């Protein structure tokens, strides 16, 4: 009987001295930088926005009269200096797109700059000379530059129903 008690005592000592190691599960969470935007027109978000380079691939596959619903992110080159009724966006360093706002429902700040997300319809159109001269006048071009416009131009266009302007 002494042996049984001794055996149980030794067993308890061994079990109580057991060195358990616990591992904590660590979760790695993707930390996405939140970008603050000022919203104009229809309420949109920046999810699934194409890069300007990717959108340019779509434009190159289009012909005059084609339209495609899309959302893209690009950098502002120029905004109408008269009232903010249009803006030009850089697409790939060589090409740009003229953005107007659906039904003149909203305008951009005259000093807008930086990145924007635009949602709406992309299309290609031939812009007549008088309209090109009007845009040049709005942009503050000289009289000589305006008079030098003598031929219509095939242009990439976008009619935006919503715009997000990145705030700094």
Q: What is the pLDDT of residues 130-161, one digit of tens each?
A: 988 988 888 888 999 999 999 998 889 999 99
Contact call for residues 137 and 80 (beta carbons, < 8 A): no
Please state the rounded mean pLDDT for residues 77-105: 92
Residue 108 belongs to some domain of the structure: yes
pLDDT the model gives residue 27: 53
| H or E element at residue 12 | helix 2-16
Residue 27 belongs to some domain of the structure: no
Q: Which one has a higher pLDDT value, 13 or 104?
A: 104
What CATH number has the domain bearing residue 56? 2.40.50.140
Number of domains in the chain: 1
Residue 61 belongs to some domain of the structure: yes
Residue 113 belongs to some domain of the structure: yes
Q: Which one has a higher pLDDT value, 152 or 8?
A: 152
pLDDT the model gives residue 137: 87
What distance in Å separates the CA atoms of residue 59 and residue 80, rounded to the nearest whole number?
Answer: 23
Helix-, strand-, coil-residue percentages of the chain, each rounded to 5: 25, 35, 40
Residue 71 has pLDDT above 70, yes or no: yes
Question: Where in the sequence is the domain holding 74, given as residue range(s)?
Answer: 36-126+154-166
pLDDT the model gives residue 107: 94
Segment 11-30, tens digit of pLDDT: 666 666 555 555 555 554 55
pLDDT the model gives residue 70: 95
Residue 7 belongs to some domain of the structure: no
Please state the rounded mean pLDDT for residues 46-73: 92
- Closest by CA to 122, choosing from 85, 164, 69, 77, is 69
String of b and e for 78-107 (b: at least 16 CB within 10 Å)? bbbeeebebbbbebbeeebbbbebeeeebb
Within a 13 Å sphere around the CA of 83, how many CA atoms are in the beta-carbon half? 7
Please give the distance of CA 93 from its chain centroid, rounded to a whole number.
Answer: 17
């Amino acid at each position: 009987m002494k042996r049984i008690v001794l055996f149980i005592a030794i067993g308890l000592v061994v079990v109580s001295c057991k060195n358990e190691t616990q591992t904590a599960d660590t979760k790695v969470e993707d930390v996405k930088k939140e970008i603050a935007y000022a919203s104009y027109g229809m309420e949109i978000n920046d999810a699934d926005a194409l890069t300007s380079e990717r959108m340019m691939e779509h434009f190159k596959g289009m012909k005059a009269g084609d339209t495609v619903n899309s959302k893209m992110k690009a950098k502002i080159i120029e905004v109408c200096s008269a009232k903010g009724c249009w803006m030009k966006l850089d697409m790939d360093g060589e090409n740009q797109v003229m953005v107007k706002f659906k039904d003149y429902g909203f305008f951009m700040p005259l000093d807008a700059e930086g990145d924007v997300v635009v949602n709406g319809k992309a299309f290609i159109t031939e812009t007549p000379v008088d309209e090109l001269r009007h845009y040049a006048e709005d942009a503050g071009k000289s009289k000589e530059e305006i008079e030098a416009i003598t031929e219509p131009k095939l242009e990439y266009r976008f009619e935006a129903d919503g715009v997000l302007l990145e705030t700094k």
